[in-house]
């Protein structure tokens, strides 16, 4: 599908301009992106969805990353060639944002958001083919990394997501395929869960973008 005006997104009968097109370059407007995200969020998650003022800083970083603003991302220490590891406490909105952000760049190849626990359940059912499937060249965002159970198949346990992350790292090195993930855990907890080898690969795979640890639970 070709997008002659990728800076203008249509939802139903409403058009949302995210900026202006100058030549072949889009000049994005952060405030206009927020208007669209609020509207699209309500369509995806219901009328109670809203963009919170306290989340503007993290939204700004995510927007810069997804629109591939290399100059500003570099200033913020974000590598646009890596994936995202979006961290924060339970209920702060990580999953919703990762499901939402891809819609501001419909001209880019989308990723699929998959709960890590579902991947492990799949492993328990069909075994190591699951690791091959998610270590493939598709684009994924692994949701809730670190709280999934240990995999178990035919009497053998397996740190399923650890193995998949190793495969995704190899894919990133060889083919520059990005991987995204969300987690409630901090860096130390992730290392305890997956070990130093996987944690080292994660540093190469991901930009760490984090909510404040005091962010409120928006589900309440």
- List pLDDT tens digits, range 162-198: 999 999 999 999 999 999 999 999 989 999 999 999 9
**Cβ atoms within 10 Å, residue 154:** 7
Four-residue CA torsion sign, 173, 61, 35, 43 = positive
Give the pLDDT confidence score for residue 8 in this predicted structure: 92
The two structure tokens encoding residue 99: 């499901």
What's the pTM? 0.93
Q: Measuring CA to CA, which residue among 43, 18, 42 is closest to residue 31? A: 18
Give the pLDDT confidence score for residue 7 in this predicted structure: 86
User: pLDDT over 70 for what percent of the chain?
Assistant: 98
**Cβ atoms within 10 Å, residue 81:** 11
63-79 mean pLDDT: 97
144-159 mean pLDDT: 92
Map out the domains of the chain with their CATH numbers. Answer: 8-210 (3.40.50.300)
Give the pLDDT confidence score for residue 136 in this predicted structure: 83
């Amino acid at each position: 599908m070709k997008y002659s005006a990728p800076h203008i997104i249509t939802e139903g009968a409403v058009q949302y301009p995210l900026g202006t097109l100058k030549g072949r370059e889009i000049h994005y407007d952060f405030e206009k992106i927020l208007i669209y995200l609020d509207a699209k969020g309500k369509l995806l998650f219901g009328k109670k969805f809203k963009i919170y003022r306290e989340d503007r800083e993290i939204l700004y970083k995510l927007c810069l990353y997804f629109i591939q603003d290399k100059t500003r991302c570099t200033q913020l220490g974000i590598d646009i060639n890596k994936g995202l590891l979006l961290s924060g406490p339970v209920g702060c909105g990580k999953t919703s944002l990762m499901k939402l952000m891809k819609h501001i760049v419909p001209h880019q190849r989308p990723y699929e958001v998959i709960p890590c626990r579902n991947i492990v359940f799949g492993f328990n059912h069909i075994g190591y083919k699951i690791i091959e499937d998610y270590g493939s060249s598709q684009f994924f965002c692994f949701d809730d990394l670190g709280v999934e159970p240990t995999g178990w198949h035919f009497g053998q346990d397996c740190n399923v997501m650890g193995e998949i992350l190793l495969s995704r790292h190899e894919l990133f090195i060889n083919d520059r395929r990005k991987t995204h993930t969300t987690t409630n855990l901090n860096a130390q907890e992730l290392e305890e869960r997956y070990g130093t080898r996987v944690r080292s690969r994660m540093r190469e795979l991901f930009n760490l973008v984090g909510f404040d640890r005091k962010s409120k639970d928006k589900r309440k």
